Structures are given as structure tokens and as C-alpha cells.
Amino acid sequence: MSDGNSITLGSKLRDLRLKNGLTQEELADRAELSKGFISQLENDLTSPSIATLIDILTLLGSSLSKFFAGFDEEAQAVFTPVDYFEKRYDDEAITWIVPTAQKNAMEPIIVELIKGASTDADIPHEGEEFGYVLEGAVEVVIGDRATVANKGDSFYFQSDKRHFLRNVYDGASKILWVSCPPTF
């Protein structure tokens, strides 16, 4: 016999994920869980630990009290490194400095590229991108045009052309990158 709370948990998690515009795979990746586990949660086939539930709710811009009580808290306005979410790859690290940003109009991240590395090429989409080079130098490639941005330089462009960044510095480069709407 299935109890009402389990069903409510799964459907509420699914609704919250969809409200944030994330696929099961995107949420799983950000939460460092498997897509299958997210699917099982949403279909009430398993229950998360409290720690896992807190992690998922934080990524979805919620909290235990909001999720279970249904009342709105005042939205968090200041984020500290303890709130950040980082994903490391072989030649790139991405840090979501506002982990709940996918529900907002803008999504700021910090991208760190090792020497010679590039971000994945983003296909044309609706929106705008802004970046500020914190360390190093990157080549900003938009369509067929490439321009170097050095430490202290910024870039801004419409997202309607294929675009990516390539580290052209003799060391690691770090970039504050903001996408509107969220796409990272």
C-alpha cells in the first residue's frame, strides 16, 4: 500500500523540476545523482535521504520548509561559497554561484578553463550572454568571428549564433559568465 506522502513527494518534486525548466538528466547531473534515481523519486519508487532531498531542493530553489509547508519564504539574495555548486571535468570547471538561478531570468556561473581548453560550442538559441575575464585570456568565438578578451575585459552578445570560449592564456583562465535565459 502506497501512502499519500510518497505520492505527493514524487509529484511535487516533478512539478518543481519542471517549473525550473530542467530535464531529469540535467537535475541528476547537477545533483550528482543518476537520472534513474531522479525518475524513481518522481515515480515514488524510492525515497531520498534527508541530505539528498535538501541538495535537490536547494538546486531547485526551494527548502524543506517551503516544500513541505507550502508557504513562501523570502527569496535568498546573498549567496556565499557554501551555497555554490561546482562541476569539474578534465579541462573545465563550472561553478554555479547562484545555484537556484535556473528559475530566474539570468544564470551566472564561473568557468575555469585549463590552458588550450574550450567550452562546448553552444548552438544558436534565444537570449543574451555576458562575460568578464577574471584571470587569463580567452578567445570569444561567435559564429565565424573570434576576438580575444584579456583579464579585465568583458564580452556581450546575442546568443543567436554558435558560440564558445577558448583559453588562449599560458595557464588557467577564469571567466564570470552570465546567460539570459539560463542555459548552463
pLDDT of residue 2: 41
The better pLDDT of the pair 47, 103 is held by 47
Give the mean pLDDT of 37-46: 90
- The reported pLDDT for the residue numbered 6 is 35
Cell of 72: 513562501
At 1, which amino acid appears? M
Tell me how far CA of residue 42 lies from CA of 27, 65, 176, in angstroms: 12, 19, 34
Residue 5: pLDDT band by 50, 70, 90 thresholds?
very low
- CA distances to 16, 20, 49, 70, 80 from 66, rounded to whole Å, are 11, 15, 17, 5, 21
**Mean pLDDT of the 129-145 span:** 97
Pick the residue with more confidence: 3 or 13? Answer: 13
- Give pLDDT tens digits for 20-37: 889 999 999 999 999 999
- Joined together, the cell numbers standing for residue 151 give 583579464
Residues of the chain with CATH 2.60.120.10: 81-180
Average pLDDT across the chain, whole number: 87
| pTM for this entry | 0.62
What φ, ψ does residue 35 adopt, rounded to 5°? -60, -35
Give residues with Cβ within 8 angstroms of 161, minimum separation 6: 124, 142, 143
Residue among 160, 166, 175 at smallest CA distance from 146 = 166
pLDDT interval class at 182 (50, 70, 90)? confident
- The predicted structure's pLDDT at residue 106: 87
Q: Does domain 81-180 have CATH number 2.60.120.10?
A: yes
List all residues 6 or more positions away from 26 whose beta carbon is below 8 Å from its beta carbon: none
Name beta bridge partners: 166: 118, 139
Q: What CATH topology corresponds to 4-69?
A: 434 Repressor (Amino-terminal Domain) (1.10.260)
User: Binning pLDDT at 50, 70 and 90, where does residue 47 land?
Assistant: confident
pLDDT above 50 (res 111): yes
- Nearest-Å Rg of the Cα atoms of the chain is 18
User: Please, where in the chain does CATH 1.10.260.40 lie?
Assistant: 4-69
pLDDT above 80 (res 148): yes
The pLDDT value recorded for residue 131 is 96
> How far is 26 from 78, CA to CA, in rounded Å?
24
Distance CA 184, CA 145 (A): 22
* SS3 state of residue 38: helix
Q: What is the pLDDT of residue 145?
A: 96
Asked whether the bond before 181 is cis by omega within 30 degrees of 0, the reply is: yes
> Coil, strand or helix: which one is 40?
helix
Yes or no: say if 155 and 135 are a contact pair by the CB < 8 Å rule: no
